[in-house]
C-alpha cells in the first residue's frame, strides 16, 4: 500500500541547537517508518534576526559590525555541526558549505556597506541564508541517524512573484517543479529537507515569503505535492485558547477550523504565519500544530470544519504592536470617496489593514495597521489628502500607537445570540474602555480596540466570561497521531 505523505515543518526553536536537531531527527525517523516524509526547516533560532541586523549595519556603513554578526553565525553553526556530525567526510563537506554561504553573506554585506543601500532584493538574499544553512545541517544529521535524505533549496521548488519580502507563490508552476524534483525522491523513500521561507521568481531570483514564512512554505509544498497532512512542529502544545503569558488558565484547543485558526493567526497568535492556511483550504489537507519538546502531546488539529460542537467562542488573541489611524473631521461627510482614497492609499504602501471602523455620522474613519507600517501610511495619507487638509475638508489624520486589538474568535459565534453582549458586559465590569469595535459579517470574529495597558485585563475578563479554561463536554480530542 502507498504510504501516506506527511510534510513536517520544524520552526527555529525546534532546530535551535544540536540537541534540538537531535530531537527532530528522532521525530522524523520514527514517522518515516510508516510515512513518506517531506521536511521543511526554518533557520536556527535567532539566525534570521542576526542576518537582517548584519544587513542593516552594513547599510549604515558599519562593515565591521556586520562582520562580527556573521562570525557569531559561523560559531553557532560550527558548534551544532561538531556536536551532530561525526563522519569526517560529511563534516568536511558541510563545513565547507557553511563557509561558502557565510562568504556569500559577507559579500552581500560588503556590497551594501559600499553603496550604503539595502534593496529589498539584497535583504532577501541575506535573510534567506539562515534556512540555506540549516537545511543541509538537518539533512546531514538525519543521515547520521540512518534516514536517507537530501537537502533541497526551495528556490528550485517554490515559484513566486517578484515582491521581495512578501512574495506570493504561483501554485501551478510550483506543483510542476515539485513533481519533477521531489516526487522521485519520495518514491525512493528519501526524505527531502527543504529550506522554508524561500522561493524564487520564474527567472530564478531568490525571494522570501515574509518573516515567519516557513509555515507558509510547508503548506505551499504540502498542497503542491498533495500531502495527506502537514505537521507544524513548534515550541508550544498547539493552538491555545489565549496567550498563556497573558492568561495563565489558557489551554490547548484539540481541534479548530481553518477559518478560526486563520483569524487567530491574523490577529497575532504567533503560532502560525497568517497566510499559512490559504494554501491548503481547497484541498482540505489537515494541519497539525505540535510541540517538538513534547512529541507525545497531540497538539491541535486544524481542519475545514473544526470540532463543530463547541460553544461560540473558541479562543482569544491580541496584538499590541499596532497603531490606530484616524482620518476625520466634520467636513468629510460631504467629501466623496474618502473611504476609497484612504484604502487605495493603504494599498499603495502595502500596509496591511487589520481592522476598520467608521462611525455612522461619518465624521471619522479609523483603522488599524501594524506599527511598522504606521508612519509610512500616515505620510502617504497626508500626501493623498493634502488639498483637503489645506481646505479643512479633512480636519485631521492622527496616529495613536498606544492601543491593542483583542479578537474573540469562534466559528460558531455565527447565529449565537448574545456573544457580543456578554463580551462587552464582561469588559464593562472590569472597567475596560473600548475605543473601537468591529465584527466581520462572517461572525467568526468580534474585535475591539483598547488602550494597550488594558489588554491583559480585557483578555482575562473575556476568557473567564466564556469559561475557555474548561473543555466543553461535547468536545472530544482528535486521535493522536
State how far the Cα of 339 lies from the Cα of 328, in Å rounded to an integer: 11
Binding segment (CB under 5 A) for Mg ion, from list 6-14, 33-41, 139-147, 218-226:
6-14
C-beta closer to ligand ASP: residue 12 or 299: 12
Q: Which is nearer to ligand ASP, 165 or 244 (CB)?
A: 165
Which one of Mg ion, ligand ASP, none is in contact with 197 (Cβ closer than 5 to 8 A by kind)? ligand ASP
Taking the C-alpha atoms of residue 384 and residue 379, their distance in angstroms, rounded to an integer, is 9
C-beta of 211 vs 341, nearer to ligand ASP: 211
Shortest distance, CB of residue 262 to Mg ion, whole angstroms?
A: 16
Residue 196 binds Mg ion (CB under 5 A): no
CA–CA separation, 453 and 297 (whole Å): 34
- In terms of DSSP bridges, do strands 300-303 and 255-257 run parallel, antiparallel, or are they unpaired? parallel
Q: Tell me how far, at minimum, the Cβ of 150 lies from Mg ion, in Å.
A: 24
CB of 325 to Mg ion, least distance (A): 28
Chain positions 205 to 234 lying near Mg ion, rule: CB under 5 A, are 212
254 in contact with Mg ion (CB under 5 A): no
Residue 447 neighbours by CB under 8 Å, 6+ apart: 267, 355, 405, 406, 407, 408, 437, 438, 439
- Among Mg ion, ligand ASP, none, the one that 48 touches (CB under a kind-dependent 5 to 8 A) is ligand ASP
Measured from the CB atom, the residue of 136 and 212 that comes closer to Mg ion is 212
Question: Residue 104 or residue 235: which is nearer to Mg ion going by CB?
Answer: 235
DSSP string for 113-153: HHHT---HHHHHHHHTHHHHHHHHHHHHHHHHTT--EEEE-
CB of 171 to Mg ion, least distance (A): 22
Neighbours of 164 (CB within 10 A): 19
CB of 215 to ligand ASP, least distance (A): 6
Q: Which does 213 bind (CB under 5 to 8 A by kind): Mg ion, ligand ASP, none?
A: ligand ASP
* Residue 289, binding choice from Mg ion, ligand ASP, none, Cβ under 5 to 8 Å by partner class: none
**Contact (CB, 8 A) for 20 and 13:** yes
Sign for the pseudo-dihedral over CA of 452, 407, 346, 278 = positive
Closest CA to 278 of 236, 217, 208, 369: 217
**Closest separation between CB of residue 211 and ligand ASP, Å?**
4
Q: Which of 7, 11, 112, 338 binds Mg ion (CB under 5 A)?
A: 11
Q: Helix 88-115 vs helix 120-127: angle between axes, to the nearest 10 degrees?
A: 160
Per CB under 6 A, residues contacting ligand ASP are 11-12, 42-43, 48, 130, 196-197, 211-214
C-alpha separations of 429 from 118, 142, 274, 460 in Å: 50, 55, 32, 12
Residue 211, contacted partner among Mg ion, ligand ASP, none, CB below 5-8 A by kind = ligand ASP
Rounded to an integer, what distance in angstroms lies between the CA atom of residue 7 and that of residue 3? Answer: 13
- The item of Mg ion, ligand ASP, none sharing an interface with residue 192, based on CB under 5 to 8 Å by kind, is none
User: SS3 sequence, 221-251?
Assistant: HHHHCCCCEEEEEECCCCCECCCCCCCCCCC
Backbone angles phi, psi at 456, to 5 degrees: -65, -45
Closer CB to ligand ASP, 12 or 16, in the complex: 12
- Pick 212 or 328: Cβ nearer Mg ion: 212
211 vs 457, beta carbon nearer ligand ASP: 211
Query: Using CA of residue 123, residue 124, residue 130, residue 133, what is the dihedral sign?
Result: negative
Q: How near is the Cβ of 446 to ligand ASP at its closest, in Å?
A: 29
Q: Using CB under 5 A, which of the segments 10-18, 173-181, 320-328, 415-423 binds Mg ion?
A: 10-18
Which residues touch 357 (CB under 8 Å, ≥6 apart)?
365, 366, 367, 436, 437, 438, 449
CB 13, min distance to ligand ASP, A: 9
- How many residues line the site for Mg ion (CB under 5 A)? 2
Name residues contacting Mg ion, limited to 67-96 (CB under 5 A).
Answer: none
Binding site for Mg ion (CB under 5 A): 11, 212
Amino acid at each position: 500500500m502507498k504510504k501516506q505523505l506527511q510534510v513536517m515543518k520544524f520552526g527555529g526553536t525546534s532546530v535551535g541547537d544540536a540537541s534540538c536537531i537531535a530531537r527532530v531527527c528522532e521525530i522524523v525517523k520514527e514517522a518515516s517508518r510508516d510515512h513518506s516524509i517531506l521536511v521543511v526547516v526554518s533557520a536556527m533560532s535567532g539566525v534570521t534576526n542576526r542576518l537582517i541586523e548584519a544587513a542593516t549595519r552594513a547599510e549604515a556603513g558599519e562593515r565591521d559590525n556586520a562582520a562580527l554578526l556573521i562570525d557569531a553565525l559561523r560559531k553557532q553553526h560550527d558548534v551544532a555541526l561538531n556536536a551532530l556530525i561525526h563522519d569526517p567526510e560529511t563534516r568536511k563537506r558541510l563545513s565547507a558549505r557553511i563557509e561558502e554561504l557565510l562568504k556569500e553573506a559577507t559579500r552581500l554585506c560588503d556590497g551594501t556597506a559600499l553603496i550604503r543601500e539595502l534593496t529589498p532584493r539584497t535583504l532577501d538574499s541575506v535573510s534567506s541564508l539562515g534556512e540555506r544553512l540549516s537545511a543541509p545541517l538537518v539533512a546531514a544529521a538525519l543521515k547520521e541517524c540512518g534516514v536517507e535524505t537530501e537537502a533541497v533549496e526551495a528556490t528550485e521548488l517554490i515559484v513566486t512573484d517578484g515582491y521581495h519580502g512578501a512574495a506570493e507563490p504561483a501554485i501551478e508552476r510550483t506543483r510542476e517543479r515539485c513533481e519533477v524534483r521531489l516526487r522521485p525522491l519520495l518514491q525512493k523513500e528519501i526524505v527531502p529537507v527543504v529550506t522554508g521561507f524561500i522561493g524564487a521568481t520564474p527567472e530564478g531570483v531568490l525571494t522570501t515569503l515574509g518573516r515567519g514564512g516557513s509555515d507558509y512554505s510547508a503548506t505551499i509544498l504540502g498542497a503542491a505535492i498533495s500531502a495527506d497532512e502537514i505537521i507544524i512542529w513548534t515550541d508550544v502544545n498547539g493552538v491555545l485558547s489565549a496567550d498563556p503569558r497573558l492568561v495563565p488558565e489558557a489551554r490547548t484547543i484539540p481541534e479548530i477550523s481553518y477559518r478560526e485558526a486563520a483569524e487567530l493567526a491574523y490577529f497575532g497568535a504567533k503560532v502560525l504565519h497568517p497566510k499559512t492556511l490559504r494554501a491548503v483550504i481547497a484541498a482540505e489537507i489537515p494541519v497539525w500544530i505540535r510541540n517538538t519538546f513534547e512529541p507525545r502531546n497531540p497538539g491541535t488539529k486544524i481542519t475545514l470544519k473544526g470540532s463543530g460542537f463547541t460553544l461560540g467562542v473558541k479562543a482569544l488573541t491580541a496584538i499590541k504592536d499596532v497603531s490606530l489611524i484616524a482620518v476625520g473631521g466634520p467636513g468629510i461627510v460631504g467629501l466623496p470617496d474618502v473611504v476609497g482614497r484612504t484604502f487605495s492609499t493603504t494599498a499603495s504602501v502595502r500596509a496591511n489593514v487589520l481592522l476598520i471602523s467608521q462611525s455612522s455620522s461619518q465624521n471619522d474613519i479609523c483603522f488599524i495597521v501594524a506599527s511598522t507600517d504606521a508612519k509610512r501610511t500616515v505620510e502617504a495619507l497626508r500626501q493623498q489628502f493634502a488639498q483637503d487638509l489645506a481646505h479643512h475638508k479633512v480636519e485631521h489624520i492622527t496616529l495613536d500607537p498606544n492601543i491593542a486589538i483583542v479578537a474573540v474568535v469562534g466559528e460558531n459565534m455565527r447565529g449565537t445570540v448574545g456573544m457580543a453582549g456578554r463580551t462587552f458586559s464582561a469588559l464593562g465590569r472590569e472597567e475596560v474602555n473600548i475605543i473601537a469595535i468591529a465584527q466581520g459579517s462572517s461572525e467568526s470574529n468580534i474585535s475591539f480596540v483598547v488602550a494597550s495597558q488594558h489588554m491583559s485585563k480585557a483578555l482575562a475578563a473575556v476568557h473567564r466570561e466564556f469559561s475557555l479554561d474548561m473543555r466543553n463536554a461535547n468536545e472530544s480530542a482528535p486521535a493522536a497521531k
